[in-house]
A and B are shown apart, each in its own frame.
Chain A
Amino acid sequence: MSRAGTPQSTNTFLGMPARPPRVPYGEGNLRGEQAFPRAAAGELRNEQLRRNLGRATGTIRGKRIAVTAELPDWEELRDAGAAIKTDALARLPELLEELERRVTERGGTVHWARDGAEANEIVTRLVRATGSDEVIKVKSMATQEIGLNEHLEQAGITPWETDLAELIVQLGHDRPSHILVPAIHRNRDEIREIFLREIPGVDPGLDAVPEHLAAAARAYLREKFMTTRVAVSGANFGIAETGTLGVVESEGNGRMCLTLPETLITVMGIEKVLPRHQDLEVFLQLLPRSSTGERMNPYTSLWTGVTEGDGPQDFHLVLLDNGRTAALADSVGRQALNCIRCSACLNVCPVYERVGGHAYGSTYPGPIGAVLTPQLAGMHAAADDPNSSLPYASTLCGACYDACPVKIDIPSLLVELRHQKTEETGRSAERLAMRAAAAVMGRPRLWTAAQRTARLGRAVAGRDGTIGRLPRPLSGWSDTRDTPAPPAQTFRDWFASAEGAAALREAAREGERRSADGPAHGDDQQEDQ
């Protein structure tokens, strides 16, 4: 639905509240070209990717567990983090206005963007006003989400990504596959080849030692840092009380971008606002430990507007909606806005570990992406919207909930989105099948007959006892899964057989022996003593 189609949304406080719009279809990077099962099937065949991912996620998992276990108050920090974010969202209007006031008082300029297209236009206009035709960029999820780089390029402005992994992705004409380590799908040999091909004047004898590759990137980007007059960044948080913005990083490329250019443009989602400076004490403990498994990341920069003699003298903050208010309007789904982009949920997810980030088709992959993406960009009624497959890209094992530093109940959100999907966009065939299943399960005779028929499935199973491919419409299931062959005998048949009756008699005798041996639960009582 277009903005023009919902006049209430531009006139909100005068009449009835209207449901805020999601990101318009086809804009930005919140939707892939293929539904998850199809995209995942392709990625699963990439053995290099699976090896890289398995090793990487395993390593970060281990580090995270070690450093979170060091803090005896880890659970209390999670509770505080979740409550601070929930409280901030509940008071979002006043906090955003306070942030705007403080940033303006300190010499910054605040811009508001309804969607990605508007944010891209604002940034482009600001860059043009400086006369520069290039910008240096700190890795930013928000600008990736809105496709800022592509927009700038179309406008004749060259964006230089300065985070090593983002640089690898950019030079490789590739897409990020992980929130924290965007080039996790590339190994050192591939990176060496990309550098040899794409970096002008690079030493042709460059080897694949990570230290040497990093040094090549350092030499390449130094010149950009020293000469580029405009930088674009994201923000990990914006503090309403003081107007302070914060960026958390490791390499120093962030510090370079935030301090050396004359103009700094920061694009921040409106959900990143924190009420008070004191709240940093919670998030600076939760974020690094959850994301890289470090006690603290090497560099955190905090800046407030403009400071004479230190850093950019022209500062712009672009506050971005882009579907965030649509998520906020859902009392269950708004929890996803608590996300601090640490990526802990990706690293513990059995699905992500096997398929990688590209299969999700969105800037936000993994479990949080599977709930955040459909909420920001919608699961459009068109049955082939790839986003409507994302809530199913999960085993609902709950590992993501355990790992989340701000306790986002991702499994429940996935189930809720599945519900919304079938309610709003369920295909009639799917509904018919579910209705047919309900009818059969409600009639014992029919159910038994159906189960016996299912045994025919054994005829199509391979030697390993799995069915590779089923005919349509069941192919929708079997294309992306191996289905175990049905057992030779249904439970009901077994129950009625001589073998089943014998097993039951044996179980009954066992029960009698136990009750004759002593009081019930005797074993348990002993253990208690």
Chain B
Amino acid sequence: MSAARETVLGRVRDALALAPPARTTVPRAYRTGRLLPDEERLGLFTDRLTDYRATVLTCTADGTAAAVGRALADRGARRVGVPAGLDRSWLAGWDGEVFEDSADVPPRDLESLDGVVTGAAAGCAETGTVFLDASPDQGRRALSLVPDLHVCVVDLSTVEAGVPEALARLVTGRPTTLISGPSATSDIELERVEGVHGPRTLVVVVRTDA
């Protein structure tokens, strides 16, 4: 490979030879493997998401269509995008136009959508985070980014108590996005403003029995 590569690696080895580091073992005494009963996880997850100014709706699996329909109708969405692998029955309770995304749709076309509905790979209660890993029901990353409204359906069974438990659910190597509340900035006098470049509205629909 390149001379730069050999030089940089050589310098790293030299540095470590000049000042040999002591052996380090990593203490992992922090909390892992937590199990919380459904009700507590739901309570914590809802509390944290609401704190980030996301909206949380809960429903049973049977009530998904009603909850998603309500989330879209309440915000006046008329045309929404969905990933190809999304369960279409989730949109049965809504009468707007559904646009199915695919890889060859230019991102610009996503701008004309009022919103997007996706599933989720996992959730983390303690931080109020949903994880998207580009599975067929979640689609490519641009889809959940460009439209201004994101309705994200999460199964409570995939919501873990803490960060270590939730990360352990991820399949490594997939494009992954962790979302905690809507897009936000605090760059102007540290005053929090929702929505700069990402979706300004995030609705999380938690399916309590799925």
What is A's interface to B at a CB cutoff of 8 Å? 9-13, 17-21, 52, 55-56, 59-60, 72-73, 76-77, 79-80, 83-84, 86-87, 89-90, 92-93, 96-97, 106, 111-114, 118, 162-165, 168, 181, 183-184, 187-188, 191, 210-211, 213-214, 217-218, 221-222, 225-226, 241-244, 250-253, 255-256, 258-260, 270, 277-278, 280-282, 284-285, 292, 294-304, 307-311, 319, 321, 325-326, 328-331, 334
Contacts and interface: CB of A to CB of B under 8 A. Distances in A.
Contacts of A188: 188-189
A191 B14 CA distance: 47
A326 B10 CA distance: 12
B177 interface: yes
A260 B108 CA distance: 10
A83 B107 contact: no
B175 A302 contact: yes
Nearest to B10: A12
Given A214-B196, A295-B180, A307-B174, A325 B15 contact: yes
Interface stretch (B27-35, B70-78, B88-96, B151-159): B27-35
B127 interface: yes
B8 A319 contact: yes
Contact of A310 (B26, B48, B134): B134
Nearest to A283: B163
Contacts of B5: 112
B172 A210 contact: no
B17 A17 contact: yes
B197 A92 contact: no
Given A83-B26, A181-B187, A244 B197 contact: no
Interface residues of B, number: 77
Contact of B126 (A222, A260, A295, A300): A295
Nearest to A251: B196
A258 B107 CA distance: 13
Interface string B1-21: 111110111111111111101
A259 B141 contact: yes
B178 A300 contact: yes
Interface string B178-210: 111111111111110101111100000000000
Given A214-B195, A226-B108, A301-B175, 19 more contacts: A10-B10, A13-B14, A56-B189, A93-B13, A164-B187, A164-B196, A221-B197, A242-B172, A243-B173, A250-B186, A251-B198, A252-B183, A252-B198, A255-B141, A278-B168, A300-B178, A311-B140, A311-B142, A319-B8
Given A18-B14, A113-B4, A250-B183, A310 B9 contact: no
A298 B175 contact: no
Interface string B48-67: 10001000000000000000
A309 B103 contact: yes
Contact of A80 (B2, B30, B107, B177): B30
A242 B180 CA distance: 24
A428 B185 CA distance: 51
Contact of B173 (A12, A304, A325): A304
Contacts of B12: 92-93, 96, 270, 325, 328
A183 B187 contact: yes
Given A79-B29, A270-B8, A87 B19 contact: no
A168 B16 CA distance: 41
A56 to B, nearest CB: 5
7 contacts: A60-B190, A80-B26, A164-B185, A226-B107, A251-B185, A280-B167, A281-B32
Contacts of A284: 163, 167, 178
Nearest to A162: B197
A294 B183 CA distance: 14
A214 B185 contact: yes
A296 B32 CA distance: 17
A284 B170 CA distance: 14
B127 to A, nearest CB: 4
A256 B146 CA distance: 8
A298 B27 contact: no
Contacts of A244: 172-173
Nearest to B20: A331
Nearest to A168: B187
A394 B191 CA distance: 29
Nearest to B102: A309
B179 A299 contact: yes
A13 B13 contact: yes
A211 to B, nearest CB: 5
B196 A90 contact: no
Contact of A114 (B1, B8, B13, B128): B8
A256 B47 CA distance: 28
A73 B29 CA distance: 8
B141 A311 contact: yes
Contact of B27 (A21, A79, A106): A79
A114 B7 contact: yes
Nearest to A304: B173
A218 B9 contact: no
A80 B164 CA distance: 13
B191 A298 contact: no
Given A80-B26, A295-B128, A296-B129, A181 B190 contact: yes
Contacts of B199: 252
Nearest to A97: B9
Contacts of A321: 8, 11
Interface in B83-107: 103, 107
A86 B21 contact: yes
B137 to A, nearest CB: 14
A388 B202 CA distance: 49
Nearest to A306: B175
A328 B8 CA distance: 12
A13 B13 CA distance: 8
B40 interface: no
Interface string B119-154: 000001011110000100000111001000000000
Contacts of B24: 83, 86-87, 90
Contacts of A114: 4, 7-8
Contact of A181 (B23, B48, B186, B195): B186
